[in-house]
Structure 1
Amino acid sequence: MTWDQYAEAWAGLHGGFDPRRASALVRGWVRLAYRTGSWLGARRVTPFTVTLAGVLLCLAVPLAVPAGAGGLAFGAALVLLAAAADGLDGAVAVITGRVSRAGYVYDSVADRIGEAAWLAAFWLAGAPAWLTVSTGAASWLHEYVRARAAAAGMPDIGVVTVGERPTRVAVTVAGLIVASLAVVVAPGWVPAVLAVAVAAWLVLQLIGLGQLTVAVRAALR
């Protein structure tokens, strides 16, 4: 499968959003997924295997963070690897011709499980429980509104909000890395650093939910 063929197939699975016309960062990320997915597909790695690997990486994050500075930094690395797996399962599915509705559901469920694991890691490392639960609910609501809008007839993703999954990944990784540094420099600041990271995640979700609500109303009016 050529890059152009892959980009067209990818756009069809993402509400018509063409990666060839995206920013250099997004375009580069999708192209990297295409190349890596081609390599995995040639070795008969299935999309479900990649999805499962991503979930296991996410579930390992809460187990890693109690180990202090090293554990927090390792948790950040696990989140990055899980995010890579999240992009690669779809790439492998497209390239190997194994795209299915069931796979789409599995991928969405895996994303929600992974994000719950990341927030659990923040809680275990010292973030307030009420804040992590509120953030998880806001993230879930963001995805639920889009899914229901699509079921109601919205023809595309509506809008790319500030609270999309890449933002959640970035906030999680940044929060864990800064917290790992705080363990060494000022241990008493760790809970505050983690709380700020989770609060930033929550604020971005709420803003994104507002953006999505406006787009959904316009699309379904």
Structure 2
Amino acid sequence: MPAEPGGPARDRQRARRSQRESVLDAWSELHGGIDPRDSFWVERWVLLSSACARPLVRLGATPNAITVCGAAVTAIAFAVTFAGRGWFAVAALVILLAAVLDGVDGAIAAQTGAATRWGRILDTLADRWSDIFLAGIVVMAGAPPWLGVVIAVLTLFLEGIRATAQAAGMVGPGAVTVWERPSRVILAVIATVMAAIVWQVGLSAGGAQALAAITAGIGAILAVIGVLQLLLAVFRQTRGLPA
């Protein structure tokens, strides 16, 4: 009996599609039911994190170890900014590495079935640690310190609202706002890249500080919008729940 045309190739394609769907479903389960397929970029990020996690799984890496590494790498990125403007491009790359590790720990947990409550707590602590350092990096790039404080406080306030609402019975993250982890990472990367470019072209100190202030100001505005988005979502989801 002749083989079905394209049989083996079709089987491989189906297997890849099934694996892809499994990865997306596992991520959704770990993130409060958010479907990554709703966003092209989130879906691609989840799949990239899963691909990066596979060799680490084979090496025996644990989600908690990667979580700690990601937090440590963010602190290293902040430390690099003290080396001077010529190192800000390096800091941007280190921030991106930390962001990859931030996604990989969840992918390892999904692939190995090693997700635990302590792991979620540790991941949350590492995220807040990193959020503070990311705000500090924006300040080191030339933004006014008060703007860095505003960004850090609003970020912690947003996440505090989310955690309190979840403890009160809200299911999932409430809302995916404009000021989630990717936005915070992007702001820090933009700030460091701009600082590196400004150093290369020899822009005046006043001009460099103005650009950094504008960048940080945009971040602060996004943080305010994010807090308002989350507050509205929390109100809608919890107003009918008994105390």
- Asked if these proteins are the same fold (TM beyond 0.5), I'd say yes
Q: Which residue in 1 is equivalent to 2:115?
A: 99
Q: Which residue in 2 is equivalent to 1:204?
A: 222
Cα shift at 1:129: 1.7
Counterpart check, 1:2 vs 2:24: no
Counterpart check, 1:150 vs 2:145: no
Q: Which residue in 2 is equivalent to 1:192?
A: 210
* Number of positions where the alignment pairs a residue of Structure 1 with one of Structure 2: 220
| 1:177-203 deviation per Cα after TM superposition (whole angstroms, max 9, x unaligned) | 011111122041222222222221111
Alpha-carbon RMSD across the aligned residues, in angstroms, is 1.6
Distance 1:62 1:35 in 2: 27
With structure 1 as the length reference, what TM-score do the two structures score?
Answer: 0.94
Identical-pair percentage: 36
Task: Give 1:111's match in structure 2, choosing from 117, 127, 133.
Answer: 127
| 1:32-85 deviation per Cα after TM superposition (whole angstroms, max 9, x unaligned) | 111221221121111122112111111112221133333111111111110100
Task: Give 1:78's match in structure 2, choosing from 94, 106, 125.
Answer: 94
DSSP 3-state at the match of 2:200: helix
Distance 1:126 1:18 in 2: 37
Distance 1:43 1:66 in 2: 34
Name which one, 1 or 2, has greater alpha-carbon Rg.
Answer: 2
Distance 1:122 1:174 in 2: 9
Greater Cα shift, 168-177 or 62-71: 62-71
Distance 2:125 2:95 in 1: 16
Amino acid in structure 1 at the alignment position of 2:24: A
Distance 1:30 1:163 in 2: 18
Counterpart check, 1:216 vs 2:216: no
User: Can you give the 5+ residue segments of structure 1 that lack an aligned partner in the other structure?
Assistant: none
With structure 2 as the length reference, what TM-score do the two structures score?
Answer: 0.85
DSSP 3-state at the match of 2:43: helix
